[in-house]
Structure formats: C-alpha cells, structure tokens
Amino acid sequence: MKPFCLKITLLLAISGSTIARAQFGSGVVFDPTQSAHALQQIEQGQNIFTNSVKLADNAISTYNLAHQMAMSPDSLYRPFMSFSSYWMAINQAANTYGNSQQWVNSTNNGVGTQYAYQQASIPRTTQLNGYGNVSLSSQQQIAAQGATADLNDAVTASNMQTLGVIRANAQQRQTDINALQSATQSTDPAQHTELATLQRINQALILQLMAQQEANQISQAYALQQIVAQKQQQDQLKATFQQANHFQTGYMTTAPSYSGAAAAMRY
C-alpha cells in the first residue's frame, strides 16, 4: 500500500505543479509519458534500496556466526573421555630352553622371523633314507607331505614378519592419531582455519588407508594359512584314493599264498 500511495502522491504533485504552471501562464504543459518514466525510476530506486538492505542483513548474520564460532572454542572442542588402543607387544616368554625369546622378539618387531621360527620348531629333515627305493606312488605321497611341511614353515615365518612389523608401527601410529586429536580439540584459532582443517582431514584419511592396508595383509596371511591346511587335507584324501586303487592288485598278489591257511586251521 505504501509504494502505491507514494506513486499517487508523486503523480498528484507533478500534475498539480504542471497545472499550476499552466494556469499562471508559464507555458509548461503536463506530459503523462514523462510522469510515468519518473515513477518507473523511483520504483527501481526502491528495489535497489530493498536489495541493499537484504545484503546488509545477510552480511551481519554471517559475521555474527563467524564471531560466535571464533569466540567459543572452549565449549565446542573438548577432549574425548575414552582413549583409543593399539596392539600391545607380546609378553615375554619364560625362555626355558633358550629358544623362545627370539620368537617373541620377532613377532614384536618383524626382525629375524625365519631364524626365530626354526629355533622354536622341530627342524626340517632332509629326504628320508630309502626315498629313491620306494615305488613312484610312495614317493609322491612322501614328497607331498614334505612340501606341506616346507610351505607351512615359509608361510608361518612370513606371517610372523608381517604381524611383527604391524606391531612395531602401532605405537608410532597411535602417536600420529593423538597428534591429530590434539590439534582438532585445540583452542588455538590457527588450528581451526579452513586450510588446517582440510590438512587434518587428509592426514586422517591417509591413516585410515594405512590401517585398511594392514587389515588386508592380515587377511592375506590368514588365507595363506588356510590354503596350506587345505593342501594337507587334499593330500590325505588323494593318498587314500591311491591306496584304494592299489588294494585290489596287492590283495590278489598276496592272498593266494594263504589260500589254505583257513582250512588248515580247522584241523
């Protein structure tokens, strides 16, 4: 209503002024086109003023929010009550026979795992005596079992090394996490700039990727152990089939020599 009344008032004022001049013989005549143009310019000025007021209000609101965030880090950034954990080192073994300590050290730092595993395990034997004199099927069974033992030793030592390296890096990883947490919960305004926040987000993502990679390595180690165990089961199953396949031939070769034993025992 106010802009409409203002237009009517201005129009009447312009009209009255023009009519008055014409009445007094000034020679000025009322022009409706010029009056409408003047009203249009006044309306555009009002719109510009209204938009300027809105922009000013938005700027004030943005400033108030930024000021509130900058002045209240004590209430927004508080440390967590719970603490994160990391892989602790394996407790020291008794080392009764002098071959346990190296195994424990290796699983904690990933150093010398091959030697440590062999020291704490039954030594690997060479080929059995008379291996070359047995049948081909017997050699295959012996070789398969020997390969299972050799592969299991290699996989176990490799897994010990992987887990040992992860354990050795766990404490430094926890230090990095604590540093990120401290910077995130700091009351220092410099730690809450956009650049500093983005950098911490990048570092957190890198730590997450590294943890995921370690989880993948543990899964791979477990899969290798399962593969060796499955191989051992398969070897036993195949050996059973080979023994069953040769049973008929062996029985027919050996049984005739005892064909009269049952009858002789009845007398």
Q: Are residues 105 and 234 in the same domain?
A: yes
Q: Are residues 24 and 67 in the same domain?
A: yes
Q: Are residues 106 and 181 in the same domain?
A: yes
How many domains does the chain divide into?
2
Q: How confident is the model at residue 42 (pLDDT cuts 50, 70, 90)?
A: confident
Q: Are residues 62 and 149 in the same domain?
A: no
Whether 78 is covered by a domain: the verdict is no
pLDDT at 106 over 50: yes
Whether 159 is covered by a domain: the verdict is yes
Whether 237 is covered by a domain: the verdict is yes
Q: How confident is the model at residue 252 (pLDDT cuts 50, 70, 90)?
A: low
Range of the domain at 43: 2-71
Which of 23-27, 110-114, 181-185 comes out lowest in average pLDDT? 23-27
Q: Are residues 58 and 130 in the same domain?
A: no
Q: How confident is the model at residue 249 (pLDDT cuts 50, 70, 90)?
A: low
Using an 8 Å Cβ cutoff, are 173 and 86 in contact? yes
Residue type, 197: T
Whether 254 is covered by a domain: the verdict is no
d(CA 22, CA 30): 8
pLDDT at 21 over 50: no
Whether 32 is covered by a domain: the verdict is yes
Q: Are residues 142 and 222 in the same domain?
A: yes
The predicted model gives 116-125 an average pLDDT of: 87
Which of 15-19, 168-172, 224-228 comes out lowest in average pLDDT? 15-19
d(CA 105, CA 123): 20
Q: Are residues 60 and 114 in the same domain?
A: no
Residue type, 71: M
Whether 241 is covered by a domain: the verdict is yes
The predicted model gives 243-259 an average pLDDT of: 60
Q: Higher model confidence: residue 13 or residue 147?
A: 147
pLDDT for residue 29: 55
Q: For the chain, report the end-to-end CA distance as a whole number of angstroms.
A: 137
Whether 171 is covered by a domain: the verdict is yes
Q: Are residues 143 and 231 in the same domain?
A: yes
Q: Are residues 64 and 12 in the same domain?
A: yes
Residues 6+ apart with CB under 8 A from 63: none
Dihedral sign for Cα 56, 60, 65, 71, please. positive
Q: Are residues 66 and 113 in the same domain?
A: no
pLDDT at 15 over 60: no
Residues 6+ apart with CB under 8 A from 51: none
Q: Are residues 225 and 130 in the same domain?
A: yes
Q: Are residues 144 and 197 in the same domain?
A: yes
Whether 16 is covered by a domain: the verdict is yes
